[in-house]
Structure 1
Amino acid sequence: MNRTTTAARHARAVAFRDLHAADRPFVVPNPWDAGTARILAGLGFAALATTGAGLAHSLGRPDGTNQISRAELLANAAVIVEASGLPVTADLESGFGERPEDIAETIRLAAAAGLVGGSIEDSTGRDEDPVRPLDEAVERVAAAVEAAKELDFPFTVTARAENFFQGRPDLDDTIRRLRAYEAAGAHVLYAPALPDAEAIRAVCSAVDRPVNVLMGGALKLSVAELGALGVRRISTGSALSRAALGAFTRAAREIAGSGTFDFGADAIPYAEANALLTPPTTPTTSAGRASAVTHPGAPASPVTPGPGA
């Protein structure tokens, strides 16, 4: 089990749950290792989410079904929890199993890893039939919700409708699915790859639970604009990890192609990298209690980063 204490995990779980009820949406960026988790925590984000694609790429694998095992995913999540000290929700893919009992076990193992939330998607991993029948998908969401209820802290279950992500741009069916997942008890609803602001507005207005929206691709909307559409939570998926991979690849291609090293001008300075990755200290007060010290670079209020975070 992750070394997070029961009390600390409960506090993080409550804080994560309550972020969804704030006056403005919050961003859960997606780190893929301890270093990126620590940097994001130091920059003042209130919570984090894992990325299956970012993890797969860091392990030298393409993203896709069964590229990452449940054990590997949860081990990575535990590292991110430990490094950041923040509430962390995980991309639990389709739940790592075909039976509802498998989904429930994944939720229990996620909690044991220190996570305070996780998403279950309705994809199948089969090219010929990429999205599960609705009844089957609802049963799996319900199993995740019931397993979460058995925990001793409020584990946030996010239900994902994968139509647009799987090349099925059916907004009506997406909304139908999200409503069904809401009725099954999902705490947050998520349809990745919605194409435009009107689709986002339609989803948010069709359900009563908080909606997560994926940003970082072709769709260009700010935190404030997403909030006006009704969004409560914003994730970046694999966008940050692919941005890092893009910078690395461009630098390597420059060296291999032209034999020059101009990329170094864009590299973060050595001292700044060390400062960002130095864990916050917790000196003892005169009363003998540990008092948290802000990580280098953290803003005064870490709850919800502003537009462009």
Structure 2
Amino acid sequence: MPITEESAARARRLRELHRPGDPLVLVNVWDAASARVVAAAPGTAALATASWSIAAARGSADGERLPLGEMLDGIARVAAAVDLPVTADLERGYGATPADVGASVTRALEAGAVGCNIEDGLPEWGPAGPLRPLEEQLERLRAVREAGERAGVPLVLNARTDALAEGLPVREAVRRGRAFLDAGADCVFALGAETVPVVEELVEALDGRVSVLATTGGPSLPELAAAGVARVSMGPGPMGAAYAALRRLAEDAAAGRPLPTDLAFRPS
């Protein structure tokens, strides 16, 4: 998909949707059919892919085990299926060096994405712990921003930190988040922010430029909005919900129970 002025317009629209206290809520998708179903829901303003879900749909594990070409194919199919801004989960950036990460982001833009997630967690504990050393991560984020500038697309960079998910204190998530914003990130995705007080602390420290994951049992969407976040996503949760319904259908069919009335539903 060629990068056009429409790509830039969609990127600007995606950025505008990040409003602290009135967050962009993203139901993550993984293929053309799921993209069309979510896009058709009233109020849907943008879509996000979930790397876990794209990988699972193709028989692979998450964690950049799915080759980049296949991940980009999944992103391209989502972007081609809808007329909404699409932000892509690019995991750690699919690159050993900042230049490699920039090249991956360029390819994601060519696939139709106008935003991306880049995370700082490492697949294994390194000498500095479970997270990439901060200065290294900042170089990678700067390369993402530069890739967008070269392409003429003001892509929306959602910089993820796994500090809380790895059991580190909130102050470490804040330290990294501030540095990410200074390096050009638009929003800080704090994986593991699962209580209202923690979310509120992050929002205050990061000027509301906070993205969180909505989870069953965690703060509700209204609570997250009241806490002041700018973005809420659901990761692989939507695929789990869809496939749980599929499992129930299979169990009902095997047991001879009545089939659901939405069996006739077809993605538009």
> What's the TM-score once normalised by structure 2's chain length?
0.91
Alignment of 1:166-181 (within 5 A): 167-181=166-180
**Residues 1:193 and 1:23: Cα distance change in structure 2 (over 3 Å):** closer
Amino acid of the structure 2 residue aligned with 1:171: V
Over residues 18-51 of structure 1, what are the superposed CA-to-partner deviations in whole Å (9 max), with x where a residue is unaligned? 1124772121210111111001111130001000
Alignment of 1:108-119 (within 5 A): 108-119=106-117
Matched, 1:92 2:90: yes
Distance (whole Å) between structure 2 residues aligned to residue 209 and residue 104 of structure 1: 27
1:161 counterpart residue number? 161
* Preserved CA contact (<8 Å) 1:88 1:115: yes
Percentage identity across paired residues of the two chains:
33
Alignment of 1:47-196 (within 5 A): 47-63=46-62, 65-127=63-125, 129-165=129-165, 167-196=166-195
2:239 counterpart residue number? 241
* Preserved CA contact (<8 Å) 2:20 2:229: no
Secondary structure of the residue aligned to 1:31 is coil
Distance (whole Å) between structure 2 residues aligned to residue 171 and residue 109 of structure 1: 34
Amino acid of the structure 2 residue aligned with 1:130: P
Distance (whole Å) between structure 1 residues aligned to residue 229 and residue 47 of structure 2: 17
Match of 1:12 among 6, 10, 13: 10
Amino acid of the structure 1 residue aligned with 2:16: D
* Preserved CA contact (<8 Å) 1:33 1:79: yes
Q: Which runs of 4+ in 1 moved over 4 A?
A: none
Match of 2:262 among 254, 262, 268: 268
Amino acid of the structure 1 residue aligned with 2:185: A
How many residue pairs align between the two structures?
Answer: 265
1:234 to partner: Cα distance = 1.0
Distance (whole Å) between structure 2 residues aligned to residue 163 and residue 193 of structure 1: 8
Secondary structure of the residue aligned to 2:103 is helix
* Preserved CA contact (<8 Å) 1:251 1:263: no
Structure showing the higher strand proportion among its residues: 2
CA RMSD of aligned residues (A): 2.0
* Preserved CA contact (<8 Å) 2:76 2:112: yes
1:254 to partner: Cα distance = 5.5
